[in-house]
Structure 1
Amino acid sequence: MGTSESASKRTAESSRHKVTFAHSFAVGRYAVTFAEWDACVADGGCNGYKPWDNGWGRGRRPAINISWSDAKSYAAWLSARTGKTYRLLSEAEREYVTRAGTTSSFWWGVSVSRGQANYDDRASQDKNAKGASGQKTAPVDSFQPNPWGLYQVHGNIWEWVEDCVNDTYEGAPVDGSPWLKGRCEQRVLRGGSWVSKADAVEAGSRYGVQSEGRVSNVGFRVARTLR
């Protein structure tokens, strides 16, 4: 876990360390969609909150304008509805499934282009040009999945994980569990988004924000521990 020497290093990511998972786990192939979120609301869950789609459409687009607590409410509803315990991923789990057995900055290699992920590529173009992303989210099944069949682990939306924010990995769990010490009024986001530059959608990229914020480039996917 952590960035390689060849990656664009930021202090919070640069400490490579070994993580050994205590349990197997399952993870959603896609970020949770508006269709799935709206089903939760229709069933009386998710605190009745209907997030704005920014005019981009709902259906198979990822649910956005979702806070960390909102994401937790969906996992609680899904658990009650199915009888199985769903949750957010830990930060270690999210990096593991992003890499899918690879060690490079992206699961496909060392750089990213407009045909591989939904991110803001304007840095490589005229600063006044429109980015390849079209400056909005894409449906969750856009772009090629990684070798483990997971879609958009790089870009499209930042995804909430369970962990509290810490500036470095010093003292982080080594068993894949979430880090529940630190600045817990903030939580970690992973994956980068449609408005992120290339280095922010790398496999090791991490970002911490206030947990109750609701913005148009943040959503989540769910996981389940397999015992």
Structure 2
Amino acid sequence: MTPASAQEVAQPSMQERPLKPKDVFKDCANCPEMVVVPAGSFKMGSPTNEPGHSAEESPQHLVTIARPFAVGRFEVTFDEWDACVAEGGCNGYKPSDEGWGRGRRPVINVSWDDAQAYVTWLSKKTGKPYRLLSGSEYEYAMRAGTQTVYPWGNTVGTNNANCHACGSHWDAKQTAPVGSFAPNEFGLNDMVGNVREWTEDCYHDTYNGSPTDGSAWIEGGDCYHRVVRGGSFLLAPAFLRSASRYWFTSDYRLRYLGFRVARTLAP
């Protein structure tokens, strides 16, 4: 048995030990690195006086996530996506890297449908319930206990993320390798900027009637359009605000669209 295969066999059994918030784990050698996010409550959306506020971010409402869950420490990378394709998953789709390089850069040019193919493969490979984050889980994980405009404060600052005018080496040019910026208080990287990230939610134009338990908002929505979060390297700082959200059709592929995964943890 090779060291790699030994690790792949051993890791899942190690996973079943009790996990604490900020614990980091992987379910296989080429699986995404996961971070345990604690249970908690937060106010979702933005106040009407926040610069850049949109009606899509209203009304603000309390969301309570009753149990810890795991979130990808980084956006899914080309390395991780290419491993899926190599093992016969992800419909054999090989997205373009736009000439920026693959490896540890976030996978791009992937649709919501593509992201679903990846989590289906990952769940089957590991026997664990992988999925996309709901919109409220994403905002909760992004904010990491804050209620400020950005996870790090009320101004965009310098070199906190990759966006148009964020003061980074990659601004408005291309994606950055994952982990190029400091993590938030939950230990998650690049929840803001770099690539916009698909969530499970169907699009609704306000938060009227939205779930308050962290679950994905599917009922009554336009499910051909799925919600994306987090802004990107091409967008202005206003689109990186913790409350900001947008939508694309579920089959849309763009050079600034990627995703990260979540995993439900056993009680």
Normalising TM by the smaller chain, what interval?
over 0.9
State the distance in 2 between where 1:32 and 1:85 align: 16
| 1:46 and 2:85 are equivalent in the alignment | no
Secondary structure of 1:18's aligned partner = strand
Paired residues of 1:23 and 1:225 also in contact (CA < 8 A): no
Cα drift, residue 22 of structure 1: 4.1
Cα 1:138–1:132 shift into 2, 3 Å: closer
Please point out which of 73, 80, 96 is paired with 2:124. 80
Letter in 2 for 1:14: S
Residue 128 of structure 1: aligned partner: none
Computed over aligned residues only, the root mean square deviation of the Cα atoms, in angstroms, reads: 1.7
Asked if structure 2 preserves the Cα contact closer than 8 Å seen for 1:114 and 1:132, the reply is no
* 1:159 lines up with 2:197 in the alignment: yes
Counterpart in the other structure of 2:9: none
Q: Tell me, what secondary structure is at the counterpart of 1:141? A: coil
2:179 partner SS: coil
Counterparts of 1:165-204 in structure 2, within 5 Å, are 165-181=203-219, 182-204=221-243
Contact 2:170 2:176 in 1 (8 A): no
Amino acid at match of 1:178: A
Higher RCO (CA 8 Å, separation ≥ 6 residues): 1
Gap runs ≥5 in structure 1: 125-130
Shift in Å at residue 64 of structure 1? 0.3
Structure 1 stretches of 4+ moved >2 Å:
4-8
Counterpart AA for 1:2: G
Which residue is 1:113 aligned to? 157
The residue correspondences of 1:130-149 to structure 2 (distance < 5 A) are 133-149=171-187
> May I ask how many residue pairs the two structures share in their alignment?
221
Can you list the C-alpha shifts for 1:97-128, whole angstroms capped at 9, x where unaligned?
Answer: 00000000111100113411100119x9xxxx
C-alpha spacing 1:108/1:142, structure 2 compared with 1 (3 Å): same
Q: Which amino acid aligns with 1:136?
A: Q
How many percent identity over aligned positions? 53
Cα distance in structure 1, aligned partners of 2:127 and 2:191? 27
Q: TM-score, normalised by structure 1?
A: 0.93
- Computing the radius of gyration from Cα coordinates, the structure with the larger value is 2
Q: 2:139 aligns with which of 79, 85, 95?
A: 95
**Does residue 210 of the first structure (1) align with residue 249 of the second (2)?**
yes
Equivalent residue number for residue 30 of structure 1: 74
Q: Which residue of 2 aligns with 1:11?
A: 55
Answer with 176-185 or 1-10: which moved more: 1-10
Which of 92, 104, 111 does residue 60 from structure 1 map onto? 104
AA aligned opposite 2:147 = T
Is 2:163–2:172's contact at 8 Å kept on the other side of the alignment? no
Contact 1:114/1:133 (<8 A) preserved? no
C-alpha distance in structure 1 between counterparts of 2:170 and 2:178, whole Å: 16
Instruction: Note the C-alpha offset of 1:134.
Output: 4.8
